[in-house]
Structure 1
Amino acid sequence: MKNLNLLLIFIILLSFGSCRSDSETPTEVKVDNTVKTGKLSGKVMSQNGTKPIGGASIFTFDDKYKIYHTISDSDGNFTLEAPVGNQTIHIQTGNGSNFRTEIATTVKNNETVNLNANQTKLNQVAKIAYLKGSYDKIEDIIQNLGYNATLITNADLANINTIAQYDIIFLNCGSRNYSANQSLYPAIDANLAIFVANGGSIYASDWDVSYLVGGTDYTSNCSPAGGFVPDTKLCSTDTGSSGIIPATVNNAGLSTALGFNTLNIDFDLGAWQKITNYDPAYWEVLVKETSSNSPLMIRTNHFTATGIPTTPIGNAPNSTFTTVCITLPGNIQISISVPTITVPYLVALGATVGPCSGPTNSGYIYYTSFHNHATGNIGNAGVILQYVILNL
Structure 2
Amino acid sequence: MKQNYFFILLCVFTLLTSCAGGDDSPIATENTTPAVAKTGKLTGKVMSQNGTKPIGGASVFTFDDKYKIYYTTSDAEGNFTLEAPVGNHTIHIQTGNGSNFRTEISATVKDNETLNLDVSQTKLNQVAKIAYVKGTYDKIEDIIQTLGYTATEINNSDLANLTTIAQYDIIFLNCGSRSSYTSNPALYTVIDANLATFVANGGSIYASDWDVAYLVGGTTNTNNCSLPGGFVPDSKLCSKNIGTSGMVAATVNNAGLTSALGFSTLNIDYDLSQWQKIINYDPNYWEVLVKETSSNDPLMIRSNHFTATGTTTTPIGTTTTFVTVCITLPGNIQISISVPQVLVPYLVALGATVGPCSGSSTSGYIYYTTFHNHASGNIGNAGVILQYVILNL
TM-score w.r.t. the length of structure 2 is 0.92
Identity percentage of aligned residues: 78
In the alignment, which residue of structure 2 is the partner of 1:67? 69
State the 1:376 CA deviation.
2.4
Cα 1:26–1:146 change in 2 (3 A) is closer
SS of aligned partner of 2:52 = coil
Q: How do 1:140-159 and structure 2 match up within 5 A?
A: 140-159=142-161
Amino acid at match of 2:291: K
State the 1:30 CA deviation.
4.2
Amino acid at match of 1:320: T
Amino acid at match of 1:331: N
Question: How well do the aligned residues superpose, as a CA RMSD in angstroms?
Answer: 1.1
Q: How do 1:188-337 and structure 2 match up within 5 A?
A: 188-315=191-318, 318-337=319-338
In the alignment, which residue of structure 1 is the partner of 2:392? 391
State the 1:27 CA deviation.
3.7
In the alignment, which residue of structure 1 is the partner of 2:12? none
Give the 4+ runs in structure 1 shifted more than 6 A.
none
In the alignment, which residue of structure 2 is the partner of 1:373? 374
Cα 1:293–1:26 change in 2 (3 A) is closer
Cα 1:147–1:26 change in 2 (3 A) is closer
State the 1:108 CA deviation.
1.1
Counterpart CA distance in 1 for 2:275 and 2:32 is 69
SS of aligned partner of 1:269 = coil
In the alignment, which residue of structure 1 is the partner of 2:5? none
SS of aligned partner of 2:374 = coil
State the 1:31 CA deviation.
6.8
**What are structure 1's unaligned runs of at least 5 residues?**
1-24
Q: Alignment length, in residue pairs? A: 366
State the 1:307 CA deviation.
1.2
SS of aligned partner of 2:250 = strand
**What are structure 2's unaligned runs of at least 5 residues?**
1-26
Counterpart CA distance in 1 for 2:28 and 2:172 is 71
In the alignment, which residue of structure 2 is the partner of 1:57? 59
Q: For 1:51-100, what per-residue CA distance to the aligned partner results, in whole angstroms no more than 9, with x for missing partners? A: 00000000000001100000000000000000011010000000000000
Counterpart CA distance in 2 for 1:176 and 1:356 is 33
Amino acid at match of 2:126: Q
Counterpart CA distance in 2 for 1:282 and 1:183 is 29
Amino acid at match of 2:360: P
Q: For 1:339-374, what per-residue CA distance to the aligned partner results, in whole angstroms no more than 9, with x for missing partners? A: 110001000110000000011110000000000001
In the alignment, which residue of structure 2 is the partner of 1:4? none
SS of aligned partner of 2:310 = coil
In the alignment, which residue of structure 2 is the partner of 1:126? 128
